[in-house]
Chain A
């Protein structure tokens, strides 16, 4: 009797362990499924569309079965580049102020306000961009239309700030106080200590923060879809409409026949996007690992 009961208990604990394990590896399963489905559809695409015409093609005209990737890549690079140029000084600057210089009460007020920004949906940011910011850009630069790479980039920059500020600030906080005392004891002022000791020590964490912010910028969809003007042409000006990789998927997937060439082409650019963000996040994560080590 007792032995059958303990057998049952053993079996039950075996089942529970299995069940918990399956839940534990769910993230691997989902990530694997995402990659498999992207790969499967990309392979189908490249089976009927030459790969050099995709990566070397300068025209993206789905109605004529032209799927050149270059205009979308240029669009993504232009907006991302402008966004990160704006985001880095704003993000790192605020992180230094909040993490190192601000008095305690101010810091406790400023931090949550910047964190709120992370929760504002990107479609709301895009909407505000259309209503308020695009007309502003139009008037300032005297353009025919305010929906340009720059318009999207400014909004993207702000959207990446919560990531950049909070991770940079963590890195700054992780710098041991002894470093500060040593510097001050040598006669350095608070500001000299900040930029000669604290910021260099936290630099790998700040790099991680910028990389993870970059990952957010590259993957952002709705705000760029609404703000960058949706024109898949190759341009080299921030004041022209462009079309990013993400916006192309979002704009065209709804209109295309499922299973067709256009459909699989969108998965192919989805795969490229997935790989780019994967790489950026991977590098960012390596730097975050170093932050933990200096603690």
Chain B
């Protein structure tokens, strides 16, 4: 009898260990994939990166030279996107958190934000082409591309801002109103400064997303080759993600090191924003807990 119990206990123990190990193994596959990509890109790409690669135009049908115009193009797109997206996103979140009534209409707004986040990026590309490029006649331009990316990242900014607004204690609002401040003054002078870290998080994460997207800029701004720097918001530009796509699939026999170098520069830009964004958020959340 006693032996039987200990046998079944032992079996349980073995099963338990087996599943622990299996799930650990699965998790390690995922982690190895992520770290593998990053480390492999660094190993293969860092050799290509030098001052010439970062500061020169591509030459000889992209077989020589650098990626300077693509870096500049991506920077312009980032600036354009965030300039459009940030104010709209902040006011949108202010509406939802400070003005909107708790009714069906507000639920529809929230539902459409969630759904907007789920719209495939290539559909945003179609939208940008049909609306900004053709209907509003902006042409393939920084303006059209920035607007398309701006609406793509809008849900990120709205969600992050709203989370930050929610975290501001309502006593702050009451105190400000009791001192005679209007609702608008309260929002601008009290609530927004308190919510700033959360808003910055949303902006930075949004930038990281926008910098890496390819499909939405393919038809709205990205040029295969445009070595000259843009002179207005109606110019086309090269951009890093599209340049990488072109190098990997469109150019015949491109040099290996240029491709890996481009991929690494793109990854570093995106990771830079992602890490800054997450660390600001983590710090803000920790402070809130204290």
Q: Which residues of A contact B (CB under 8 A)?
A: 9, 12-13, 16-17, 19-21, 23-28, 30-31, 33-34, 37-38, 41, 89-90, 93-94, 96-98, 101-102, 110, 112-117, 119-128, 130-132, 158, 161, 165, 189-192, 195, 212, 215, 218-222, 226, 246, 249-250, 253-254, 258-259, 266-267, 270, 273-274, 277-278, 280-282, 285
Do the beta carbons of B40 and A132 come within 8 Å of each other?
A: yes
Instruction: Please pick, from B22, B98, B245, B267, the residue contacting A222 in the complex, using a CB distance under 8 A.
Output: B245
Judging by beta carbons under 8 Å apart, are B100 and A123 in contact? no
| Of the residues B22, B41, B109, contact of A124 by C-beta under 8 Å | B41
- Across-interface contacts of A20 in B (CB, < 8 A): 91, 94-95, 98-99
B95 touches A37 (CB 8 A): no
In the complex, the answer to whether B35 meets A27 with C-beta atoms within 8 Å is no
Interchain CB contact under 8 A, B182 and A13: yes
B213 close to A (CB within 8 Å)? yes
State how many angstroms separate the Cβ of A210 from the closest Cβ of chain B.
14
B244 at the interface (CB under 8 A from A): yes
| Residue in A195, A226, A282 whose beta carbon sits within 8 Å of that of B115 in the complex | A282
Query: Which A residues lie within 8 Å of B34 (CB)?
Result: 113-114, 116-117, 120
Residue in A97, A254, A267 whose Cβ sees the most chain B Cβ within 10 Å: A97
Complex Cα distance A258/B249, Å?
24
CB pair A26–B99 under 8 Å, yes or no, is no
Q: Is B51 an interface residue (CB 8 A)?
A: no
Dominant SS among interface residues on chain B: helix
Q: Are B24 and A122 in contact (CB under 8 A)?
A: no
A113 touches B267 (CB 8 A): no
CB within 8 Å for A158 and B30 given contacts A27-B155, A121-B213, A127-B263: yes
Which residue in A27, A116, A121, A273 is a CB contact (below 8 Å) of B214?
Answer: A121
Tally A-B pairs: CB < 8 A: 240
- Which of chain B's residues has its CB closest to A282's CB? B115
Query: Could you say which of A120, A226, A285 contacts B37, with CB atoms under 8 Å apart?
Result: A120
Among the listed A41, A116, A274, A278, which residue makes an inter-chain contact with B271, where contact means beta carbons less than 8 Å apart?
A116
- B274 CB → nearest A CB, Å: 4
Given A37-B131, A191-B16, 9 other A-B residues pairs in contact with their CB atoms under 8 A: A27-B92, A31-B115, A93-B23, A113-B34, A128-B40, A130-B249, A158-B30, A258-B129, A274-B123
User: In chain B, residues 75-108, which have Cβ atoms closer than 8 Å to a Cβ of chain A?
Assistant: 87-88, 91-92, 94-96, 98-100, 108
Given the complex, which residues of B lie within 8 Å of A19, measured CB to CB? 91
Q: With A123-B212, A191-B20 in contact, is A128–B88 under 8 Å at CB?
A: no
Asked if A221 contacts B26 (CB within 8 A), the reply is no
With contact pairs A37-B131, A97-B27 given, residues A119 and B212 touching in the complex (Cβ less than 8 Å): yes
How far is B215's CA from A17's CA once the two chains are assembled, in angstroms? 36
